[in-house]
Amino acid sequence: MPDKTFQFPSNVDGFMLTGYNWSPAVVPNAVVVISHGAAEHSLRYDRFARVLNAAEYEVWSLDHRGHGASAGPDGLGDFGEGGWDALVADIAQFVDMAKKANPEKPVALLGHSMGAAAAQQFAPDHSAAIDALILSGSTLREPPKEGEAPPAFAPNKAFEPARTNYDWLSRDEAEVDAYIADPLCGFEMQSARRPGMRANPFQLNDPARLRSIRPDLPVLLVAGDADPINEGLVGLKRLRDRWQEAGVRRIDTQFYPGGRHEMLNETNRDEVMDNIITWLDAVLG
């Protein structure tokens, strides 16, 4: 469990948010801020946070609006009136809080899935606030053509006949079962209850915005090649190409054969966590 749990209002609209802090036993070398995925929450990252602590990193994670202990006015899945753009602004506010609590320490932002999409929107405006960016379980989709409907969300289709509706998350059945049993997980279809609660693909693909990302920001893409979100890594290669065209010079990849959506909860998670820490040590050391 985290060492600290705290609440604070969003600077955007006063939405009450819950944050968590895991501290190492020694003075940390750096800070990792975690931006979790849709229909989950920060406490699912407790194992990874403790591994980071052992490597002398302090960890901060925010339950995004509409998630975990930051449920909205209408419960889980409700981002409030501020919507998606406010969720991204909350990340900037939270990173600033972590930086002020750890002056002169480098800060890395790790975004997973929805949190990675939010981090993609965050980067053009706020890349000067972080020293490294990790995108886990991410992708970049082409904006829909005029009159074209967005693709239906059916990530489990590739694994049918499936044992559960969430086989796409991990090959580790115990991890899938823990997700299903968690009352704070699995409400992803509720996120459409208000307009403006999803990332805008036109904004994420906008070359002018992407050129605002500072070119010396180290970026790491972490993914399984069986994650249906990245379309067989096509979406991540598109993301890498767009960001490189915009001038971002260092984009590293850690892709895992057979890995599904949650590499931090996969059967080879120890390898994944070790590789992420090795990369952090290299770019922040």
| 276 pLDDT higher than 80 | yes
Residue 108 lies in a domain: yes
Single-letter code of the amino acid located at 157: K
| R_g of the chain, CA atoms, integer Å | 18
> Any idea what the CATH number is for the domain that residue 81 is in?
3.40.50.1820
Residue 163 lies in a domain: no
Q: What is the pLDDT of residue 216?
A: 98
Residue 173 lies in a domain: no
Average pLDDT rounded to a whole number, residues 174-196: 82
Number of domains in the chain: 1
Residue 255 lies in a domain: yes
Average pLDDT rounded to a whole number, residues 134-142: 96
Reduced to 3 states (helix: H, G, I; strand: E, B; else coil), residue 27 is coil
170 — alpha (psi -120 to 50), left (phi > 0) or beta? beta
Q: What is the pLDDT of residue 46?
A: 98
| 278 pLDDT higher than 60 | yes
Residue 148 lies in a domain: no
User: What tokens does 106 get?
Assistant: 């480098």
| 149 pLDDT higher than 80 | no
Residue 151 lies in a domain: no
Question: Is there a contact between 112 and 39 (Cβ–Cβ < 8 Å)?
Answer: no
Q: What is the pLDDT of residue 195?
A: 57
Q: What is the pLDDT of residue 144?
A: 83
User: What tokens does 85 get?
Assistant: 């753009």
| 77 pLDDT higher than 70 | yes
Tokens 């490189």 locate to 244
Q: What is the pLDDT of residue 285?
A: 86
Q: Which of 163-172, 192-201, 213-222, 239-248 has the lowest mean pLDDT?
A: 192-201
Beta strands in the chain (DSSP E): 4-9, 16-22, 30-35, 57-63, 107-112, 132-136, 219-224, 251-256
How far apart are alpha carbons 42 and 23 in whole angstroms? Answer: 15
Range of the domain at 128: 4-143+188-284
How far apart are alpha carbons 47 and 50 in whole angstroms? Answer: 5
CB-based contacts of 159: which residues, under 8 Å, 6+ apart? 167, 168
Residue 161: cis peptide before it, omega within 30 degrees of 0: yes
How far apart are alpha carbons 107 and 122 in whole angstroms? Answer: 14
Question: Is there a contact between 261 and 113 (Cβ–Cβ < 8 Å)?
Answer: yes
Residue 160 lies in a domain: no
Residue 165 lies in a domain: no
Q: What is the pLDDT of residue 197?
A: 67
Mean pLDDT of the chain: 95
What digits encode the pLDDT tens for the residues 220-244?
999 999 999 999 999 999 999 999 9
